[in-house]
Amino acid sequence: MKKIVWILCIQFLAIAGYSQSSAAAGPLPSAAQLKWQDNNFYLFVHFGPNTFTDLEWGKGSEKEEVFNPTALDCRQWCRIAKAAGAKGIILTAKHHDGFCLWPSAYSKHTVAQSNWRNGKGDVLKELSRACKEAGLSFGVYLSPWDRNHPAYGTPEYNDVFVNMMKEVVSAYGPFFEFWWDGANGEGPNGKKQVYDWRRFESTMRSIAPNTILFSDIGPDIRWVGNESGFAGKTNWNLLDTAGFTRGAGAPPADTLNQGNVNGANWIPAECDVSIRPGWFYHASEDAKVKTPGTLFEIYLKSVGRGANFLLNVPADRRGLISAYDSAALMGFAALRTKSFHSSLLKGGDASIQLGKKNVKPELTDGKENTWSSLGKDYKNEFLDIRFNKITELNCIRLKEPLQNGQRVASFTIELLNGNKLLSSLEQTTIGHQRILTFPTQSVTQIRIKITKAKADPLISGIAAYKIDSDLVEK
């Protein structure tokens, strides 16, 4: 019986694309981390008293009646998110001012104390339901800093924060992502809090084991080190966290931006940026919403560098996403659809070879569990893409099967017309996906060489496109 099971396992691994030479090279992502990375674009919604006071960081002393959206419609948020191609929404359930967008039993600074819907409103409940209806993932941001709570700055506040986490997970989960901000300022008593991060983490692991946890140092995903939405051109999904803490004790910005080539932990980067200059809605910024072209550029520098893209789109004082933001999102979605609608490598106009072996089905089937290995002698191998006719292109996408670890440290793409080398593009990491753009070239052949790798290189996807020349990364 054992022999039969072993034979079946060997057959399955062969079908899935594994081989002895493509054994996993750790550290490796969890199943939840792999699933999270496939949700590569989603929205952040900053909403709360700051929306009505025109502040970015509330003082915590704002009266609860300040929060009073006149036409809150979380279904509208979800319709816009879906149309924009976003995979989910993360809501600021509690920002630094301490105001809770749900009727928490552990605070007296919540929607229950406001006049909105006679104190019976619950933004988390409405958004949770709307996301389920729309088929979107739902996440929450919960700042541990609380400029209102009287227990902040004392050991008892850690109990409060743990209870709040339990409260939102049980009432509104499951969440695909839980966002911890590392900010730590003074509370109403003038004291700072000593956060019990170990307890916070163990609590979440216990009550929501499949929820991805975000902070400067994970444990599951990391801040990218800036609020511009740009990951490093070199971007490892690995990070060393020993000796670092969240907030002021986090790793340097350039480390967060690039990761560590030999990092001990799988902690990929998330790129957060706002569609406006500020994070909360301000009417004075209606004319300053980022253009579709700017959003596309950020996409290339986040998703196109192997990270995830978290775009903040704040709700206005009505409780709606404004027409200005919606228009920019629709334009952004249209640019992505037009640019990446169909790869030039599909339709029989090109062949892909590794040496003399035709490997096209493995690299263009869109599946994560099939790939081609360049083997241990990869420096003497290359992938050749040959077109049946001269083809114009200016964009190439590559993918690694990350379930086997991140391996490629550097590679070169050569663009040729016949025997003439038109240009050579030298790059570093690939990761979940690498989208490269360049001035339009007329080619008959693309040659991909891996120049350095941590283990025998594996490629799970190749695509080529001709996008609008104005969108080529500068």
Any idea where the domains of the chain sit in the sequence?
A: 31-339, 350-471
pLDDT surpasses 60 at 9: no
CATH topology of domain 350-471: Jelly Rolls (2.60.120)
Residues 94, 87 contacting (CB under 8 angstroms): no
Residues 156, 191 contacting (CB under 8 angstroms): no
pLDDT surpasses 70 at 86: yes
What is the distance of C-alpha 175 from the center of its chain?
15
Would the CATH topology of 31-339 be identical to that of 350-471? no
Position 366 scores a pLDDT of 80
Position 24 scores a pLDDT of 65
Mean predicted confidence (pLDDT) in 116-141: 98
Ranges of H-type helices in 173-232: 197-207
- At 357, the pLDDT band (50, 70, 90 cuts) reads confident
DSSP SS3 for 375: coil
Q: How many CA atoms lie within 13 A of 135 on its CB side?
A: 3
Mean predicted confidence (pLDDT) in 317-327: 98
Position 10 scores a pLDDT of 32
- On whether the 31-339 domain is CATH 3.20.20.80, my answer is yes
Reported in sequence order, the residue ranges of 372-473 that DSSP labels E, i.e. its strands, are 372-373, 383-399, 408-417, 420-427, 434-453, 458-459, 461-465
Lowest mean pLDDT among 21-25, 240-244, 440-444: 21-25
Task: Tell me the pTM.
Answer: 0.94
CA–CA distance, 471 with 297 (Å, rounded to integer):
7
Residues sharing a CB contact under 8 Å with residue 217, sequence separation 6 or more, in sequence order = 239, 241, 244, 245, 246, 250, 251, 267
Residues 48, 58 contacting (CB under 8 angstroms): yes
Q: Which residue has the higher pLDDT, 21 or 196?
A: 196
CA–CA distance, 164 with 181 (Å, rounded to integer):
15
- Closest-CA residue to 94 (of 180, 216, 175): 180
Position 20 scores a pLDDT of 34
Please state, in angstroms and as integers, the Cα–Cα distance from residue 3 to each residue in 6, 14, 15, 17, following that order.
5, 17, 19, 22
